[in-house]
Amino acid sequence: MLWGLIRQGLKCEGCGLDFHKRCVFKLTSNCSRVYRRCGLSLSLFPPGRPRTPKLSSHTGGSLEEISMSKPSRSRTPPWADVPVSLGLSEGKEARPRVPHTFHIHTYTKPTVCMHCFRLLKGLFRQGMQCSDCKYNCHRRCMTLVPPECNGEKANGEAQMFTSLSLSLCVCVCVCVCVRPCFSSNIPLMRVVQSIKHNKRRNSGVLKKGWLIHHTNTDTLRKRHYWVLNGKSITLYPNEISIKYYKEISLSEVLQIRGPARLTIPVLPDNCAHSFELVTGSLVYCVFADQDGPSWESALDQALRPVQGTVCHTTNNTGDGKNSDETQDISELYQIFSDEVLGSGQFGVVYGGTHRHTGRPVAVKVIDKTRFPTKQEEQTKNEVSILQRLSHPGVIHLEDMFKTMEYTFVVMEKLHSDMLEMILSHENGRLTERTTRFLVTQVLEALQYLHMRDVAHCDLKPENVLLASPEPFPQVKLCDFGFARIIGQKSFRHTVVGTPAYLAPEIICSKGYNRSLDVWAVGVILYVSLSGTFPFNEDEDINQQITNASFMYPRQPWSLISLEAVNLINNLLQVVVRRRFSVGKAMGHPWFQNFQMWCDLREFEQRMEYRYLTHEADDERWRAHALEKGLSFPQHLK
C-alpha cells in the first residue's frame, strides 16, 4: 500500500500504474501505454493515426507524484493520442525519469545549490533537499531541476557537492537574511486508510424475465415480469411499465427452496422446474421453464453477496461464557453489496438489514485471505473490547460471524461521520458551537474508555460517527481495531493509529499511554475549527509533530476564540506529563459555556436520558443566567 498523507508515490502518465518511489528504480522498459493490457486492436485508432503501435518505457509516459491534496486528472483513452517514442539507441537500457522529493532543509554546514552552484544562504531552512538522493538546491531552482532522481545511489555525489560547498565557502562572506517562510496548511481530507462513504444509485439488474407464480394463501396463478437487483425483487405487469405489481425486499426473503424441498407440489403442465420463495408472511411458488436453475443461482447470489462456507458465530451467554454455535449470517442479515458505507485498510463496511426486525445494520466484511494472521488477531481484539463496553458514546456490537474466507462484524448503523459533516459545511469548517457540542461527547466517551483502561489509539473524525443528520446529533466512537488495554501506569510500544493523528511519542518509537487519545482530540479540534490539518506541505510532517510546530494562519484563526487556541495548545503538548488529561480538558474554560449546556440539555431531553450533564450543575447555570441577564429556557427546568 502507498502510505502517507500526501505525495504517497509515483504514477506513470503512460500506463497509469502506481509505484513506490523505491520501486521505480527497479522498473524495466515495459510501459506499453495499456495497448496490450487492455486488449485494444489497431482498428480502434482513428483514421490518420499511425497504424504501428510504438512501445515506450516508463520514461515515455513520465512519472508524476501522487497526492491526495490534488484532484486526480482524468486520463484520455489510450487510442486518443499517439504513443510517445523514446528514440533510445539499441542496447542502452532506458531509465525512468523519477522526480525528486524535495523538503525544506536546515543545513548545519555551508552548502551550495547543485543546480546554480551558488551558496544556500541563511541560518535555517536555507534550501530544499531531496529526501532520496540528497540533492540540494534553492527554492527558486527547484522547478528547474530535471526529474532525474537516482535514489540512494547519489549519496556519494551529494557528499562530493557538500565538500565542494565547504571549499567554496572559505572565500565567501555570507550576508545573512532571515525571513520567515509561510506556507498554506494541508487541506482536510479523508486519509489513505479510509475511503469516502458512498452509495450507488442502483445495484444493477442481476436477473429479469417472465415468471408464473402463486402464494400459499392465493392459488390463483399470475404471470409477471420479474426484475431482481441487489435489494429487491420487483414484479411488473409488462416489460416497459414503470408501475409495478409488487416489490419484495430481499431482507424479507428467509429461504429459497429447490424442487426437492417443495411444500406446494402442484406444478403446471408445461413447466419443468420450480422453486419457492419463503418470506415472513407468504410463500411464493414460482414456475419457470428451462431457465429456472439460473433464477435460483441469481437469487442465491443476491441473498449472499459474499459467499462462504458455514459461519460460526460467537454469542455471549447469560453466565458470561462464550458458546460457539453454527449459523449462517444470511439467515439473520441481508447484506447490500451496492451500499458501501466505508472502507479501511483490511475490510469494507456494507449496509444491511436484520431479516426478522427490519433494523438497519452495518456489516464489516474482512477478507482473511488478504491478511490472514494480523487482521484476524486485530478483529478478535476489536470484538473482545467492544463486548465489554456499553455506553451511549460507543458503537454497539451486535454479533460476529466467521467463514473460512471472511469475518463479518455486525454493528448498529449510523448516519455519517464527523469528517463528512466538516467537509459538507458551507464554510468547510464547523462553528465553535457545533465543535464544542461534538467534542464534548467525544471526551465523555473517552473518559468512559479510560476508566476501563481502554485506549482507542486511532481517534480521528472518520471514526467519530453521527447518529442522525440533525445539527446537534448524537456522537459514537467506532473502529476499535487498534484499541489497546492500557493501565493507568502502563505503556505500550506497538505502532498504532493514522499518520495525521499520531502522537509524537509514537513517531519517536517511545512508550505511549492513554494520553495519545488526548493528542488526537487536539488534532480533531484543530481540523474542525479550521478545515485544514495543522501541518504545512513544505516541511516534513513527522518533524512538525515531534516539534509541535503548528501554525495558526490569520485566516481563519482570527475569527476563533483565544480560549479554543489555548485548549488546542494544551492538548498538543509533546511532553506527555504536560498534556491535558480527559478530565482536565473537560474542565477547560472553553467548555464552560452556557449555550453549550443548553444544547446538551435539549439533546438529553430528546434522548430521554441524561449522561452528558449533571444535576448538580443546574443551579450553577441558572444563577449564571440570572447574573448575566440571559434567558433561561423554561423547558429545561
Lowest mean pLDDT among 45-59, 445-459, 568-582, 609-623: 45-59
Q: Which of 263, 261, 247 is nearest to 215 (CA)?
A: 263
Phi-psi region of 628 (alpha: psi -120 to 50; beta: other; left: phi over 0): alpha
Most confident of 149-163, 245-259, 444-458: 444-458
For domain 416-592, the CATH architecture is Orthogonal Bundle (1.10)
SS3 471: coil
In this predicted structure, the answer to whether residue 436 has a pLDDT above a threshold of 80 is yes
Rounded to an integer, what is the distance from CA 581 to the centroid of its chain?
27
pLDDT at position 74: 40
Name 123's bridge partners.
Answer: none
The average pLDDT across 288-317 equals: 66
pLDDT at position 374: 61
CB 192 within 8 A of CB 68: yes
Give the active site residue among 132, 399, 417, 458: 458
- Segments of the chain assigned to CATH 3.30.60.20: 102-181
pLDDT at position 375: 62
The average pLDDT across 425-439 equals: 95
Which residue pairs, CB below 8 angstroms and at least 24 apart, start in 8-11? 8/66, 8/67, 8/68, 8/192, 9/65, 9/66, 10/63, 10/64, 10/65, 10/66, 10/98, 10/99, 11/63, 11/64, 11/65, 11/66
pLDDT tens digits along 348-368: 889 999 988 889 999 998 877
In this predicted structure, the answer to whether residue 572 has a pLDDT above a threshold of 90 is yes
Between 634 and 611, the higher pLDDT residue: 611
As a whole number of angstroms, the distance between CA 109 and CA 107 comes to: 5
CB 231 within 8 A of CB 255: no
pLDDT at position 56: 35
In this predicted structure, the answer to whether residue 303 has a pLDDT above a threshold of 50 is yes
pLDDT at position 328: 78
Which of the four pLDDT bands, split at 50, 70 and 90, describes residue 595? Answer: very high
As a whole number of angstroms, the distance between CA 541 and CA 520 comes to: 15
- Segments of the chain assigned to CATH 2.30.29.30: 205-303
Reading the block at residue 471, the C-alpha cell is: 445539527
Supply φ then ψ for residue 548, to 5 degrees: 55, 40
As a whole number of angstroms, the distance between CA 170 and CA 172 comes to: 6
pLDDT tens digits along 213-260: 888 888 888 999 999 988 889 999 998 888 888 899 888 888 888 765
pLDDT at position 87: 36
CATH, range 102-181: 3.30.60.20
DSSP 580: P
Rounded to an integer, what is the distance from CA 251 to the centroid of its chain?
27
- Mean pLDDT score across all residues of the chain: 77
pLDDT at position 637: 60
- Of the chain, the end-to-end C-alpha distance in Å amounts to 55
pLDDT tens digits along 16-44: 788 887 787 777 655 655 433 333 322 33
As a whole number of angstroms, the distance between CA 233 and CA 215 comes to: 15
pLDDT tens digits along 88-143: 334 445 566 788 888 888 887 888 999 998 898 877 778 899 888 889 999 999 98
pLDDT at position 516: 93
DSSP strands (E only) in 52-196: 63-66, 102-105, 127-130, 136-137, 185-187
Place of cell 433561561: 632
DSSP strands (E only) in 138-294: 185-187, 205-215, 222-229, 232-236, 246-249, 253-257, 273-279, 283-288
CATH number of 205-303, picked from 2.60.120.620, 3.90.190.20, 2.30.29.30, 1.10.1060.10? 2.30.29.30
pLDDT more than 90, % of the chain:
31
pLDDT more than 70, % of the chain:
72
Task: Mark whether 458 is an active-site residue.
Answer: yes
**Could you tell me the sign of the dihedral formed by the alpha carbons of 598, 603, 605, 609, in that order?**
negative
Name 561's bridge partners.
Answer: none
Supply φ then ψ for residue 337, to 5 degrees: -70, -20
pLDDT at position 80: 37
Name 186's bridge partners.
Answer: none
Supply φ then ψ for residue 267, to 5 degrees: -125, 145
Which of the four pLDDT bands, split at 50, 70 and 90, describes residue 418? Answer: very high
pLDDT at position 576: 92
Amino acid letter, residue 72 = S
As a whole number of angstroms, the distance between CA 226 and CA 236 comes to: 6
In this predicted structure, the answer to whether residue 562 has a pLDDT above a threshold of 90 is yes
Residues with Cβ within 8 Å of residue 532, at least 6 apart in sequence = 184, 185, 186, 187, 188
Supply φ then ψ for residue 207, to 5 degrees: -165, 145
Reading the block at residue 238, the C-alpha cell is: 409488462
In this predicted structure, the answer to whether residue 596 has a pLDDT above a threshold of 90 is yes
Domain 312-412 sits in CATH 3.30.365.10: no
In this predicted structure, the answer to whether residue 196 has a pLDDT above a threshold of 90 is no
pLDDT at position 70: 40
CB 457 within 8 A of CB 516: yes
